Every structure is written in C-alpha cells, then in structure tokens.
Amino acid sequence: MSTKNGSGGLNRREFLKVGVAGTTAAMIGGSSLAGAVQQLASPDPFAFPSPVYRTLGRTGLKVSIVSFGAMLTPEPEVLKVAFDNGVNYVDTARKYMDGKNEEIVARALKGRRDKVFVATKTLPSSKTKEDIIRDVETSLKTLETDHIDVIQLHSLTDKDRIFISETREALLTLKQQGKVRFCGVTTHKNQPEVLNALVDDKDRFFDTCLVAYNFESHKDVATAIERAAKAGIGIIAMKTQAGGYKTEALGKISPHQAALKFALQNPSVTMAIPGMKDLSQFRENVAVMGMTFKATDARILQRYHAAVAGFYCDLCGTCEGTCPRGVDISTVNRALMYAEGYRDRELARSTYRELPRSLSADACVDCPVCTAQCVNGLNIAAKMQQARTLLA
Ligand code: SF4
Ligand code: SF4
C-alpha cells in the first residue's frame, strides 16, 4: 500500500469541488453561508500539515495519527480530501446510518483503495459464525472492496464476546479467505475489563482495540491501555474530545484540538479517529498532527472541563449498580451525547433504540425517587428525563 507522505493544501478549486459535489451547508458545519463564501475567497489556502504516522501495534500498519472516524460524515467528498492529503485509515461500521455510512466510504475510496486502510465493524448483536460471516460479506459488498483491513467486534461491554468460539471460527475463516487482515474490538463500557481480557487471552486473538479515551478518562482506563499497548494490541482512541460539545474559544487553539493533542501525547495510543461531519471539522483536527501537548493546552482543557462538567458522562458505568432497575445509564448518556455534543439526532436515536425499554430511560418514568449516584456528580434523573424528551 502506498501513502501520500507530503504536505498538501486545500486550494480554492478543491474547496469548491467539495462545496459543489457535497452539500455546502453540511460541509461548513452549520456556519453561515457568508462564512463559506469567506473561506472560498480566502487568499490563504489551508496548508495541510505533513502527516505523522505510527505503527498500529502488532498489525504493523503505518497509520496517520489523526485518522478518519466516518460515522458522522454525510458526504464522501470530505473523506476524499482527507485521503488525498495523507490520512490513510478510515473507520466505519455496519450499523452507522443503517449501513449507508459504508456506502459513503465506498464512494470516497474509489480510485484510492490502495492508499487507505479500511476498518469496519460487525453488528453489536452478531455472535454466531453465520452472523459474523454475513456481516463481513455485506460490508465487503457495500464497501466495494475485496478485503477489510481491520474488522472489529462492535461495542463490547464486558469480556464475554472476546471468547466466543464461533465468532473466532468465523473470523479465522474470513482471514484464510483473504477477506479480512486483522481483527479488533471496540468498547465504551467496562473498558479496563475488555482491554485486560485481550491481553490475558492465551491465544492473543485480537490485534486492535478502539477505546474511548480522553482527558477526562479515569486512571484505570489509561493503565489498561498502557498494558494492552505493551502487549502489542494496537490502540485506537475515540471520543477523544469528551463529547465534542460546542464551547466558546478557550484559548489560541480550540478545546477540541487541545483534547486531541492530549490523547495523542500518550505513547500507548497509536492514533485517534475523531468523527468529522465536514471540512471545517476535518481541518480543525488534522491541524494538530505534529503538534506537541503543552502547558497552555492543559489550561485550555481545565476550562473545557469546567464548561462540560455538568453534562459530560465518561461512560464508566459505575452508577448502574446504584439503580434498582438496572437502567443502562451509560448507554443512555452516550446516546444523549450523540444528540447534544455531536448534534447527530439520528445516531442518538438509533443508539437509544438498541436498548430494551426496561433498560432505557423509559424505565425511569414511574420510579418514585432516583437513587442512582454518579461518581462525577451528574444529575442522573435529569439526564434520563432529557433523554426521554429528545430520544424516546
Ligand atoms: S453517569 Fe456518572 S457514574 Fe454513570 S456512567 Fe456517567 S460518569 Fe459514570
Ligand atoms: S430514576 Fe434513577 S434510580 Fe430510578 S430507574 Fe431511573 S436511573 Fe434508576
């Protein structure tokens, strides 16, 4: 696989192409049309930094440290700009946009497949040999490719799915057929348990772990990440921006850039895959490649922490033992974060709908008093109410 390794610039013609082929409003992330016109007229094209690559654990893949989380991306044109400027890893999933996200990625990969490593995910509910093979075959067809570089079991909440023998059999068959190259898992919840199980697995079956990690993460997550990286598991960070909540400028760089720098300064993290809707978000994120995390960034993150403290849930799941009805509070909060932080109501609703009603915020309706306790002081009853209002 060859990758473009030089710096590039997004010139006016490229920007116009994005605007014309895509949806201009979507490309500019909700900023005004006047803002778009200003960008188009700007005499200074955005100068892409020289991409920085690291090795993804024992896979040996050399990947750009800021890579592309495609789950929010409605247009292939933004992905094309990224691929043409040295970003060489894209992460999608069977379930994103009900399968449409893989179609968008496929359109961006046309003529570029040999420059980009493609990662996707089986459905969270898939466990049997038949399920896994069906998911991968569907992804291959939708992505219009003959192989997937990294296939991931989606959204593990404990270690159990790591050890399902049928799942492994299916993945081995697919590897032997050359349809997948490497296998990984993704997790948002009970992450230390999942990471440690990957290391303690006597077969060391899985090669990568996509894990939620940011400046708000608990120490046990960072410790498990370090242990897994030392064991050769390639660590890919997601949720690096603590929900991507909009804030006022908090310093010279945006809080999202400071948060991304924080995640990437951890030597155990190979790369981050921020979800990017549009060109302005892509430019914001890609700009941090090659930057180092400084004391000024730490101060920006302190202010960002204060700005999001009232609503950011780090998905630790600790509160769930204090709810007598066993509501899956962390998943409800994750869905809420997709709505309020990522501003993606569709993703938020589909995540919420995956929960059985008895484990969703619907179960709170006739609960006489909320006894659930958040280690970070969040008002859980209010969050559940908000989730019902926005998502139920
Ligand atoms: S509500 Fe609090 S305790 Fe529960 S998962 Fe979120 S941060 Fe953890
Ligand atoms: S209101 Fe609180 S304690 Fe009651 S079911 Fe909901 S989360 Fe659990």
pLDDT of residue 44: 53
pLDDT for residue 37 is more than 60: no
**Given a cut of 50, is residue 128 above it in pLDDT?**
yes
Span 244-299, pLDDT tens digits: 666 666 667 889 999 999 999 999 999 999 999 999 899 999 999 999 999 999 99
pLDDT of residue 36: 40
53 catalytic residue (yes or no): no
Least reliable range by pLDDT among 62-76, 298-312, 326-340: 298-312
Q: Whose CA is nearest to atom 3 of ligand 2?
A: 370
Structure tokens that stand for 144 in this block: 């219009």
Contact of 94 with 72, CB cutoff 8 Å: no
Q: Whose CA is nearest to atom 5 of ligand 2?
A: 364
Residue nearest to atom 8 of ligand 2 (CA): 323
Q: Tell me: the pLDDT tens digits for 322-371?
A: 999 999 999 999 999 999 888 888 889 988 998 999 999 999 999 999 99
For range 140-153, the mean pLDDT: 98
Residue 192 pLDDT exceeds 60: yes
Q: Which residue owns the Cα nearest ligand 1 atom 1?
A: 374
> Does ligand 2 have an atom closer than 6 angstroms to the CB of 119?
no
Across-strand partners of 118? Answer: 90
The pLDDT value recorded for residue 154 is 96
User: Residue 41: is its pLDDT beyond 70?
Assistant: no
Least confident of 13-22, 197-206, 274-283, 337-346: 13-22
Confidence band, pLDDT 50/70/90 cuts, at residue 98? confident
pLDDT above 60 (res 163): yes
Q: Where do we find the tokens 């484990």? A: 359
Q: Name the average pLDDT for the chain.
A: 88
Ligand 1 centre to CA of 305 (Å) is 15
Q: Cα(386) to centroid of ligand 1, in Å? A: 15
Measured distance between the N- and C-terminal CA atoms of the chain, rounded to whole angstroms: 45
Q: Is the pLDDT of residue 1 over 60?
A: no
Ligand 2 contacts CB of residue 106 (under 6 A): no
Q: What is the DSSP string of 122-177?
A: --TT--SHHHHHHHHHHHHHHHT-S-EEEEEEEEESSSGGGG-HHHHHHHHHHHHT
d(CA 251, CA 302): 11
CA of 309 to the centre of ligand 1 (A): 12
Q: Which ligand is nearest to the CA of 362?
A: 2
Strand partners, 91: 69, 119
Tell me which H or E stretch contains 182.
Answer: strand 180-187
Residues with CB under 6 A from ligand 1: 313-319, 329-330, 333, 374-376, 378, 380
| Cα–ligand 1 centroid distance for 269 (angstroms) | 24
> What was the pLDDT predicted at 241?
84
Nearest ligand, CA 319: 1
Place 46 in a pLDDT band, splitting at 50, 70 and 90.
confident
Taking CA atoms only, the protein residue closest to ligand 1 atom 6 is 313
The pLDDT of residue 247 is 63
CB 279 less than 6 A from any atom of ligand 2: no
Average pLDDT of 44-52?
A: 82
Ligand nearest to the CA of 191: 1
| Res. 236 pLDDT band, cuts 50 70 90 | very high
Is the CB of 373 inside a 6 Å radius of any atom of ligand 2? no
Active-site entry in 96, 338, 342, 352: 96
Output the CA–CA distances (angstroms, integers) from residue 325 to 205, 220, 316, 328, in the order listed. Answer: 35, 27, 18, 9
pLDDT at 251: 61
Q: What is the DSSP letter of 362?
A: G
Does 32 have pLDDT greater than 70?
no
Residue identified by tokens 């466990």 is 127
Question: What pLDDT is attached to residue 249?
Answer: 61
